[in-house]
């Protein structure tokens, strides 16, 4: 038997600690002795009715009677651990289900919890653990007009609670992860989406009756890269949002070049469940390597190299004036699905957009009108400029 494993049938706490601290045994980089009260990250196994514990990052205490007690990080973790342990020892089936749903601006988590549960505990204003009828638990976190829910407990009851949220809240089908610094810190927000207007994209081949047909062809293709090129206000971001929504997948986005210089950013994209890597205003990233673009080799490897994944998609949006400014290797057939060139609308095309959405409105003067100007035009015929605030707005 491994001498480092606690055996409750023969060991006492004192004898176990003495064995772990025997001369010549490696105790760690600081060679500190192990005390009775805190055995951290040890390889323990009990032969009683407790769950087996292997390399737990939580602290482990050994009581005077030799029993092993799993430590916790806080009250919320303690509640969850006890619920799961109680069900396990009773021989009950326990599953975990989760999801994210959108809420109205007037949603109040405290009011909702108090109306639906008799037993609950709040851990901050926007985090609660609620106890179900069959001794299960709901972990609920609220923020940015969304609730994140984890349900632990009886399979039937857990499925019923998920059904409740499906019926009373709108599912956050797509999440956007914004990585905002080189350390990899991020926030996740639900996709802010509105359907694309077919007439707003007259440059997409007329054989595609709907924008979704073009999007589906890209999603189903083996090609990873899609490049959207054109001046600001021509509908590139709206198109990207429709692409993500149609895929029913999540996306990762970054705006800081220092973030994308980190290999960890790309490793995270390849390794997680995120399907789309979105690079807006990617002018510098798309330039040729002969012009000093040190990022291009990363994109080439992720899109069609040794570390590429067949289900991953890279979408670039750029204001570069022409396709010739983009590194040719990124546009190689098989790697690149399309270079979709956006432009301003003619007056006739702009009127067709308004007709499709059923809006009567004066258009600004001029023969060329951006899509942004079509929807920002005032009744007087004047326009105002909307400040660009990014993809996650």
Q: Specify the fold of 179-341.
A: Rossmann fold (3.40.50)
With contact defined as beta carbons under 8 Å apart, do 99 and 171 qualify?
yes
- Domain covering 75-171 in this structure, CATH number: 3.30.160
- Separation between Cα atoms, residue 362 and residue 375, nearest integer Å: 10
d(CA 42, CA 76): 23
Which residues, in sequence order, are bridge partners of residue 68? 62
User: For the segment 102-161, what is each residue's pLDDT rounded down to a tens digit?
Assistant: 998 889 999 999 999 999 999 888 999 999 988 899 999 998 789 999 999 999 999 999
Q: Quick one: pLDDT at residue 307?
A: 74
Closest CA to 39 of 49, 53, 51, 50: 53
Report residues of the chain scoring pLDDT below 70: 1-21, 23-71, 377-393
**Surface-to-core class of residue 207, CB atoms within 10 Å of its CB (0-12 exposed, 13-18 middle, 19+ buried):** exposed
Handedness of CA 195, 201, 204, 209 (dihedral sign): positive
Q: How many CB atoms lie within 10 A of CB 307?
A: 13
Residue labelled with tokens 């980190």: 262
Task: Report d(CA 214, CA 78) in Å as an integer.
Answer: 50
pTM: 0.68
Q: Minimal CA–CA distance to 180: which of 253, 230, 112, 111? A: 253
What is the distance between the terminal CA atoms of the chain, rounded to a whole angstrom? 59
Specify the pLDDT at position 252: 94
**pLDDT value of position 21:** 66
Which pairs from 81-86 meet CB under 8 Å and 24+ separation? 83/131, 83/135, 83/136, 83/137, 83/152, 83/153, 84/152, 85/50, 85/51, 86/135
pLDDT in tens, 51-97: 333 333 344 455 555 555 566 777 888 888 888 888 888 889 999 99
Model pLDDT, residue 5 = 56
Which tokens is 238 given?
């709206």
| Strand ranges in the chain using DSSP code E only, listed in sequence order | 39-40, 59-62, 68-70, 95-102, 120-122, 127-131, 137-143, 146-153, 170-171, 175-179, 186-190, 225-229, 251-253, 276-279, 313-318, 336-341, 345-346, 368-369
Contact 340, 326 (CB under 8 A): no
Q: Where are the domains of the chain?
A: 1-71, 75-171, 179-341
> 310: which DSSP letter?
T
What Cα–Cα distance (Å) separates residue 374 from each residue in 74, 161, 163, 231, 359?
54, 44, 41, 15, 10
The C-alpha atoms of residue 232 and residue 248 are separated, in whole angstroms, by: 26
């Amino acid at each position: 038997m491994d001498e480092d494993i606690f055996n409750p049938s023969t060991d006492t706490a004192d004898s176990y600690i003495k064995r772990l601290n025997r001369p010549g045994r490696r105790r760690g980089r600081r060679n500190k002795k192990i005390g009775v009260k805190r055995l951290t990250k040890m390889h323990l196994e009990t032969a009683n009715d407790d769950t087996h514990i292997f390399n737990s990052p939580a602290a482990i205490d050994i009581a005077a009677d030799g029993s092993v007690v799993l430590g916790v990080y806080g009250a919320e973790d303690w509640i969850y651990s006890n619920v799961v342990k109680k069900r396990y020892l009773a021989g009950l089936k326990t599953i975990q289900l989760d999801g994210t749903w959108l809420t109205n601006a007037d949603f109040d988590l405290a009011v909702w919890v108090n109306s639906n549960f008799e037993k609950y505990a709040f851990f901050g204003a926007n985090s609660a653990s609620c106890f179900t009828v069959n001794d299960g638990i709901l972990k609920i976190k609220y923020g940015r007009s969304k609730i994140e829910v984890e349900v632990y407990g009886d399979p039937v009851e857990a499925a019923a609670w998920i059904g409740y949220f499906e019926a009373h809240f709108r599912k956050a089908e797509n999440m956007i992860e914004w990585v905002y610094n080189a350390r990899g810190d991020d926030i996740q927000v639900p996709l802010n989406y509105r359907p694309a207007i077919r007439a707003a994209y007259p440059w997409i081949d007329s054989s595609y009756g709907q924008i979704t047909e073009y999007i589906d062809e890209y999603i189903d293709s083996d090609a990873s890269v899609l490049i959207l090129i054109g001046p600001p206000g021509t509908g590139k971001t709206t198109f990207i949002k429709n692409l993500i929504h149609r895929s029913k997948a999540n996306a990762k986005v970054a705006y800081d070049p220092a973030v994308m210089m980190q290999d960890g950013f790309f490793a995270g994209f390849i390794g997680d469940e995120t399907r789309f890597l979105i690079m807006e205003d990617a002018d510098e990233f798309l330039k040729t390597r002969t012009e000093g673009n040190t990022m291009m080799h990363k994109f080439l490897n992720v899109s069609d190299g040794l570390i590429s994944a067949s289900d991953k998609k890279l979408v670039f949006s750029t204001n570069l004036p022409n396709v010739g400014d983009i590194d040719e290797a990124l546009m190689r057939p098989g790697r690149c699905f399309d270079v979709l060139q956006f432009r301003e609308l003619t007056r006739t095309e702009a009127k067709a957009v308004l007709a499709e959405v059923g809006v009567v409105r004066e258009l600004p003067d001029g023969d060329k009108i951006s899509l942004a100007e079509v929807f920002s035009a005032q009744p007087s015929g004047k326009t105002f400029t909307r400040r660009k605030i990014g993809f996650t707005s």
